[in-house]
Amino acid sequence: MPHPETSARISNLRKVVELLATNSEKLIAEWEKLPDDRYPHYGTDIPSHEAYNAGLVIKAAMGSIEELTSKPTIRLLEVAWSHINARCLHMAAELHVADILAEGGDEGVSIDTLSEKIGIEKHKLTRIMRALASDHIFRQVGPDSFANNIISQAMVDDEPVRSWVALQGLSNFSAVDHLPATLLDPVAGPSYEVTATAFNRAVGTELSFFDWLTGKVPASEATSYYRPATQHPRYVAHANGAAKANQAEKDEELVFRPEEALFNAAMFGSGRVTGTSHVYDYPWGDLGRNATVVDVGGGVGGFAMQLCAAYPSLRFIVQDQPAMIAGAPGVWQETQPGALASGRATLMAHDFFAPNPVKGADVYWFRHVLHNWPDKDATRILSGITPSMGPSSRVLLAEHVTFPPFSSSPPSPPSTTTTNPKAAAATTAPHSPAPAPSPLLANYGRASTFSNQDDLLMLTLFNSIERTPAEYQSVIEGAGLRLVKIWPCRSPVSIIECRLAGVSD
């Protein structure tokens, strides 16, 4: 008779395999409903609610199967060395490997051609590509040739998505390398100041991430991380770097950091990848005609453009720093021509730490804003909104909502009880949704990886956080608001609805 622990393991494995099989059939059934010309889960398409829900369970089950079937020591080493594959992916994105492979179609591109185009010796490059293909990114289609697969294809001719991947290979990766020393530092470790981060230690700056990002550097430094100039003062010791930079500034033109353009493109890409469902999983149509949506810290207005196309009756005000707003008209003209000229969309320079000048808007929308700031700063940002709100105004926060794997209140998939996608969110799960089915981890385990990774990246760059519901509630109430509901979406990013404290819905 098996050992009791073995019996439990056998039982759990059978349950997980059953969940995997059942939800795979649900997903297949949804795929079979698609039109002949549509490929499932490609690019930024939004899956049906049923397909999304099944996908969450499948991904969680895959993680549980790995736990139940792996040799523990090998699994530990796989995770410990996972940074190596990540680094390979950073290089592939920065060097446009997917775009080059696309030229060869299904037959792929030879390693000789790839090596010649990107400048890495072919035998070393083969090993990099083999590792990524074995991790289901790219395909090896012959002894010496590679092609795209459905994963790598997402970077082809999509500069925002490629930039989002490549960005992680620049200062972000170096900053994570400095996280242990920062956490153990007697001063920086307990601090939640935006200038006492692992990023500050890695880059050798006393500036916050955004102040550093928008600064200018000598032209010799403004090169790709993977094709650096002879000297990169920002990557050496702070004292030496400052001295060299000061000397360079006397002799060279100052230009914007290349990371800034990459960051801006990446944020546009992240919005399309994680934010498209927000157009359909919140009942925007219930706002009424000519309702005003203020996109606070909205960059060039990527999300407002998406809403503008889907809801012709809405009006938009996009707010951000002057430099960002200055570049927005061209993007609007290309994406939503006529919206600015007709007055449906307005661009406004605004610092979201100051009181908001737009009074009584229907929605004040923040996407990926609060997660960049520690609690005291996040509360301060929201406090700039509350004096401007009217009785029917609402604040909507598009953010990751994190849950522990043992919690009874993990994120729940969107409801499927309505066939109207624009009204789907009206019947979503309540504030405390049910956990994933047993024996899966309650927060869907592997399916919550991206949210947990982003949480730690926020810690690394800003001393900030991807919050739990209770942590959001604390920040929200500190600004004179109340948390009304968390709207789960077909995305790792949820919508958190807030109203003025003391004002009924």
37, 59, 300, 313, 423 from 295: Cα distances, Å: 35, 33, 10, 16, 21
- Please list the active-site residues: 371
How is residue 158 written in tokens? 């999509």
Helix axes 258-275, 159-167, angle to 10 degrees: 110
**DSSP notation for 102-118:** HTTGGG-EEHHHHHHHH
Round to whole Å and give the CA distance between 225 and 221. Answer: 9
Q: Identify the CA nearest to 175 among candidates 481, 502, 460.
A: 460
Neighbours of 316 (CB within 10 A): 27
Q: Which residue has the tokens 């504030």?
A: 431
Contact between residue 162 and residue 168 where contact means Cβ atoms under 8 Å apart: no
Residue 419 is classified by DSSP as S
The pair of three-digit structure tokens given for residue 56, joined into one six-digit string: 């969450």
* Residues ≥6 apart with Cβ < 8 Å to 464: 194, 371, 372, 373, 374, 377, 378, 458
Q: Residues 32, 70: contact at Cβ < 8 Å?
A: no
Q: Are 9 and 47 in contact (CB under 8 A)?
A: no
